[in-house]
Amino acid sequence: MNHPRTLPAPAADLADPAFWKQPPAQRLARFAELRSEPRPVFFTERRATRHRPERGFYALVRHADVLKASRLPRVFASAPGVTSPEPARWVRAVFGDSMVNLDGADHTRLRRIVQQAFTPRLLAETEASIRELAVRIVDDMVAERPDEFVSAVASRMSFEVICAMLGVPDAYRYRIARQIDRASEHAGVRRSLGARLLSPGKGLRALARMELTVARLGRERRRRPTGDLISALVCADLDGERLTYRQLGSFFSLLLVAGVETTRNAIAHALALLINNPDQHALLLSDFEKYADGAVDEIVRHSTPIIQFRRTVTTRYAMSGHTFLPGDKVMLLYASANRDASVFADPDAFDITRDPNPHLGYGGGGPHYCLGAHLARLEIKAVLRELLTRPLTLRTLGEPELGTSNFDHRVRKQHFAFDVTKP
Ligand code: HEM
């Protein structure tokens, strides 16, 4: 056996939900300890019994290891699933396979269909509308004086952009927003049996409703295409075949969940990061266009909105002092890789002038590298421009209310206030 059998204390055990309830600073301290271990550490999720084998994962915590595993998809596969728990076979049969969970040609075939819409060249045409949206959101904020930032600004920005790209009519948006929240609320949060019994399949029900809504939209667009992503998806030619409504549904939920939660959390973290680092805030204000791109990358590195994704080992492979075996599970901890002191000087500091800033917030650069990375940058920059270059003085009120997921670094609420004056 090449891993220890004793379980660490809950506060140090990445497989224990208690670990993810700790403040981020404590989790980051544990990642630093793990980075100094000679080899990847194994965490047990379920002990072996006479009838069942042990289940658990190796934590990949160093920048170099996460990068390598991301770029070796033949060894570290995305099938049967990159989240934990993995999607059950029946869920995949009912809801369709999402491209995040596919490898090789199956993945490429699906990714090719939407890839076009996300290239920097095509997004340049969308940039003007993203900037207009940011102006409207901050105008409304100033007029309505909300006291909670996530719902008033961060969520609205990321959700409206994706809905506009997909071509979701206004009449459907409120319903879909509620469905996404329900579908992703418990992602990566291990709940007690009691809690699971009380709300059986709440997330799946929301997903099912969302997919029915999308199938209806898909049928409309197949009859009358309107130049948006849903029309492109339903009319796409997959080597002579069409996407089924089930495939359309799973595409749609992936784009919504991947594009909305992540960017919204980055924007929400940005507010606290800038206010808590007044020197960096002042530097950004001194020349917004010069420093904004660096600030956006540093926000994503420092907050790491997606904490981790998993992979399954397909073949015997030696890396970082350990030999992985087929069937082993590994956790690619982007949140740890982004604080690796061997790559980032003073890694806990928020420094918008880092250059280079090779963070892994959007993944490690393999075939699954975030499709929406450029779009996310445009959105975060547009919101920051409106918030920071207008005569507003923003204040956070209290600490952000964080989620307890091991998957997304969610800000549930961030209370805030502002004065309309010259800073
Ligand atoms: C700050 C915002 C964002 C962050 C931090 C983020 C992070 C990530 C990460 C870590 C991955 C996995 C990469 C890998 O496995 O190598 C990913 C994949 C993905 N992201 Fe993002 N993302 C963001 C915004 C977006 C947006 C706006 C969209 C737009 C729809 C999007 C769509 C996707 C899709 C479709 C995938 C799966 C790609 C594939 O499997 O081929 N993301 N993202």
pLDDT (tens digit, 9 = 90+) per residue, 142-175? 999 999 999 999 999 999 999 999 888 888 888 7
371 Cα: distance to centroid of ligand 1 (angstroms): 5
Q: Among 251, 262, 338, which residue has the most ligand 1 atoms within 8 Å of its CB, making it the best to mutate?
A: 262
- Interhelix angle 245-276/373-389, rounded to 10 degrees, is 40
Check pocket membership of 370 for ligand 1, CB cut-off 6 A: yes
User: Which is more confident, 62 or 208?
Assistant: 62
Q: Whose CA is nearest to atom 13 of ligand 1?
A: 363
pLDDT band at 319 (very low <50, low <70, confident <90, very high): very high
For 10-420, CATH number? 1.10.630.10
Q: Which of 370, 383, 405, 406 to mutate to test the pocket of ligand 1 (most atoms within 8 A of CB)?
A: 370
Amino acid at 418: F
CB 287 within 8 A of CB 388: no
269 vs 380: CA distance, rounded Å:
11
- Using a 6 Å cutoff on CB, does residue 300 contact ligand 1? yes
Q: How remote is the CA of residue 362 from the centroid of ligand 1, in Å?
A: 6
Q: Where are the domains of the chain?
A: 10-420
251 in ligand 1 pocket by Cβ < 6 Å?
A: no
**pLDDT tens, position by position, 238-265:** 777 778 877 888 888 788 888 898 999 9
Q: Is the CB of 267 under 6 A from ligand 1?
A: no
What is the Cα–Cα distance from 87 to 68, expressed in whole angstroms? 25
Residue 49: partners with Cβ closer than 8 Å, 6 or more residues away: none
Strand, coil or helix: 390: coil
Q: What is the pLDDT of residues 294-313, one digit of tens each?
A: 999 999 999 999 999 999 99
